[in-house]
Structure 1
């Protein structure tokens, strides 16, 4: 998954910070996509012969956005004796004397946006105007209209969670467009996308809505995109997606890219219905508060559901519970499967993160869970979601789903290895110290794997199995007994809770060998 924008490097120099102001929008002028103005331009039902009239009306409201950024880097002074016999006396071939000297490198970002008022409010993606690297600062933002007029833009506000930002340019009487109702959008509807791909200038592409409520794997409150086959490339980020009535139904944001980094017919837009409330709050300068439980989870995919004996994609499995956070206070436990939030089912289209994030903090709601195969209800008071930076810091570099996936073939066989594909030994304090696991962890340590097994593809020596199918294991015999019971019950797989060094523990579904 890639954002649909590009960053390019340039020369060394210093920089300054961008200012921030807030002004109310003027509404005297008529929007370019006012229903009365669009009625005569909308193509008749069926495949349109031409989008030209529609584009002529809408394109002036779409803008190109560029930023200049400064990135601080550490660079050692050059060794004047590099390449000579004296090089080693003065710090080696590539190093000079003294400490590394901080320098500043300039970078540029390119993207798109669109005007939503005649006095210069511009909507775009956060990643178009946010610093593009650690240690970077945005020195200036420039908005270019289709008539090639350039304006210096002020950042009114940005929201990394929704990937939205609001800018302001000082001008009057500008062409602008309004948000439409994305809830009325249907799969198969024609759409057009306007933006600035690769920085070449205003470009129009067309396609259909390929899917709605599409999750791209990023999780969170806004992982519900409009998918399209219209050509969307790097640089299109922040540009509008229009329906054939000229309504802004989405903000182009991400693409699945081929090896070349270009369009392969799978692009994603933030629905207008999700974007407009965020933009309104950014314009008002109010805080955007979202609900939060304080849990780590994974979808109930087919292999996980199979191991638990539950229907697939009908809930999410809790992998971790943050101490002191709302879920912990309510009694949610690792291994619980949350199947409904406040009466709404947790599904692929309505993830746990999405449902919780859209609950007002401080609200008491019921969570329907499955624990040890039995349904029960837990009431929780929803907290306030921390910032993305705070969540990343708290996670401590949480690995992705593939973090457990390095195969390992060494190790002795054992009765467990016959079906599970693993050999294990008890976890002693000495072994825990040797493999870098916290002394409080209890379980059995993998001493070897069968490379032909599913476990051999996902786990490796030194991983600690804490539990199997929700039952704690501290001896090889206990593990063997649980596996034997799973086979007796006709289960094709089991669910292991695995600790690797000091990384957050994860649930790993393992298919049993036949």
Structure 2
């Protein structure tokens, strides 16, 4: 018993020594909650977020749903049934039906839609939101902007959507996408402006300037309306980017200013009048700015001037950096192309440039871009100036401006000068039109040209 008590006392004594030593050597740590003095802070807004979400879309939707229509396109193609029909043409006719949306823009029945919605149509049928159906006639198209104009006739005025100013739309602004897909009554989705001046065609020589939005747009909505909260038309829904073909969060619309200009040109001239500055350009970025020895990293760099163009006569110089057009900021070529897409030849544009570090504004009269699409070759050509011909040592020819198909684009033919087609001399685009209209479509096409290195070559297109 005494032995047990002795062991207990030893253990108790040892524990007391251990605990005391721990407390003696333990470092005391002080925790302070006092605010620290620093220049860095996180800006915070504690105001109610509900105020920013009280936008009412019902009025805009009510103004627009009745003016968006379903467009049915019937095309007839011939399917060869034997080897002779395959080589010589012919075969059994076969009807194919496609569909999309359209927007009534006037009380007398003019409707704007996408060119790809009505392409190759042999019959067009339009169904309104009230399920009334009309036969439509094609007024005109512009494949470059993917805009088409059709018309229906009725006894009464049609509901329509007025045009808004697409130059004034702002990133983050609420918008509605209104379409009439699959012959349903009009469907409305909401979103915001995600970006402006998006170029989806930067690699095929046909620059575009789309409004990007996250309002849901699916198949069948092509040609529908993009409207602001006041019910004004600010865009024609045209495209989505998707690996599956279905909506994944991005949709694109042709700005209303560009669509309206195309429609007005079709009505007045029968074709689209394009005004250009007459410059060769490049988008600025950090690498190019360093290479060129300039301080600007945004804007359009003028790499060359076409002799006799509006830019040449107005005083634009190679090396200038375009920053604004009529006060509208230009950060990249899509901004410039989009703004000029709403202008016509002989319009005067105030071009603000940075030259040698100084900013100046120069009035420039736009000149007409005259081109012709050689569909059988997959090339677009323009007239070549006498100065350009002299510089290349040629007496005649038309210049290739861009490829029309990805297959032709891979050959990098932009800038070549076509001097002959089927061994006939080509002086201008009128010669091209004549030669192509008179040729036998069953025979190959021989194209003689000078490449950008100064060599004469010939291609045979079969």
Listed as ranges, the gaps of 5+ residues in structure 2 are 1-49, 382-399, 413-448
Instruction: Choose the corresponding residue for 1:59, options 62, 65, 72.
Output: 65
Deviations 1:124-181 (A, max 9, x none): 223322x2xxxxx321111011222211001223333443322211212433332234
Is 1:312 the counterpart of 2:297? The answer is yes
Instruction: Specify which structure has the bigger relative contact order, considering alpha-carbon pairs within 8 angstroms and separated by 6 or more residues.
Output: 1
Residue pair 1:193, 1:239 contacting (<8 A) in 2 also:
yes
Instruction: Choose the corresponding residue for 1:339, options 315, 321, 343.
Output: 321
Residue pair 2:299, 2:331 contacting (<8 A) in 1 also:
yes
Q: In 1, distance between residues paired with 2:198 and 2:85?
A: 55
Residue pair 1:370, 1:376 contacting (<8 A) in 2 also:
yes
Aligned to 1:77: 82
Distance 1:387 1:147, change over 3 A: farther
Is 1:392 the counterpart of 2:375? The answer is no
Query: SS of the counterpart of 2:122?
Result: strand
Is 1:125 the counterpart of 2:110? The answer is no
Q: In 1, distance between residues paired with 2:111 and 2:248?
A: 28
Instruction: Choose the corresponding residue for 2:258, options 274, 282, 285.
Output: 274
Residue pair 2:301, 2:320 contacting (<8 A) in 1 also:
yes
Query: SS of the counterpart of 2:99?
Result: strand
Question: Following TM superposition, by how much is the alpha carbon of 1:212 offset from its aligned partner in structure 2, in angstroms?
Answer: 3.1
Q: In 2, distance between residues paired with 1:331 and 1:184?
A: 27
Instruction: Choose the corresponding residue for 2:174, options 184, 190, 197.
Output: 190
Residue pair 1:291, 1:382 contacting (<8 A) in 2 also:
yes
Is 1:148 the counterpart of 2:131? The answer is yes
Q: In 2, distance between residues paired with 1:230 and 1:336?
A: 41
Q: TM-score, normalised by structure 2?
A: 0.59
Aligned to 2:445: none
Q: In 2, distance between residues paired with 1:170 and 1:204?
A: 26
Q: In 1, distance between residues paired with 2:62 and 2:299?
A: 46
Question: Following TM superposition, by how much is the alpha carbon of 1:110 offset from its aligned partner in structure 2, in angstroms?
Answer: 1.5
Q: In 1, distance between residues paired with 2:285 and 2:182?
A: 37
Distance 1:98 1:65, change over 3 A: closer
Listed as ranges, the gaps of 5+ residues in structure 1 are 1-43, 79-95, 132-136, 406-436, 443-498, 504-514
Residue pair 1:315, 1:337 contacting (<8 A) in 2 also:
no
Q: In 1, distance between residues paired with 2:301 and 2:279?
A: 11
Residue pair 2:282, 2:333 contacting (<8 A) in 1 also:
no
Query: SS of the counterpart of 2:66?
Result: helix
Aligned to 1:422: none
Question: Following TM superposition, by how much is the alpha carbon of 1:396 offset from its aligned partner in structure 2, in angstroms?
Answer: 6.1
Deviations 1:415-450 (A, max 9, x none): xxxxxxxxxxxxxxxxxxxxxx969838xxxxxxxx
Deviations 1:216-256 (A, max 9, x none): 34599983332211101222121112222322232212222
Higher-Rg structure is: 2
Aligned to 2:96: 107
Residues 47-446 of structure 1 mapped to structure 2, 5 A cutoff = 47-48=53-54, 51=57, 54-71=60-77, 75=80, 77=82, 99-103=87-91, 105-129=94-118, 131=119, 137-171=120-154, 172-197=156-181, 202-218=186-202, 223-257=208-242, 259-284=243-268, 288-293=272-277, 297-310=281-294, 311-316=296-301, 318=303, 326=309, 336-340=318-322, 346-348=330-332, 351-354=335-338, 360-362=344-346, 382-387=366-371, 389=373, 392-393=380-381, 394-395=400-401, 397=403, 441=453
Question: Following TM superposition, by how much is the alpha carbon of 1:366 offset from its aligned partner in structure 2, in angstroms?
Answer: 8.9
Query: SS of the counterpart of 1:166?
Result: strand
Deviations 1:348-396 (A, max 9, x none): 2764434555565346889888999999999976421124626724236
Q: In 1, distance between residues paired with 2:208 and 2:152?
A: 30
Question: Following TM superposition, by how much is the alpha carbon of 1:183 offset from its aligned partner in structure 2, in angstroms?
Answer: 4.4
Deviations 1:477-496 (A, max 9, x none): xxxxxxxxxxxxxxxxxxxx
Query: SS of the counterpart of 2:222?
Result: coil
Question: Following TM superposition, by how much is the alpha carbon of 1:62 offset from its aligned partner in structure 2, in angstroms?
Answer: 1.2
Number of equivalent positions = 344
Q: TM-score, normalised by structure 1?
A: 0.53
Query: SS of the counterpart of 1:138?
Result: coil
Deviations 1:303-326 (A, max 9, x none): 43343333333223648x77x773
Q: In 1, distance between residues paired with 2:451 and 2:199?
A: 38
In terms of fraction of residues, the more helix-rich structure is: 2
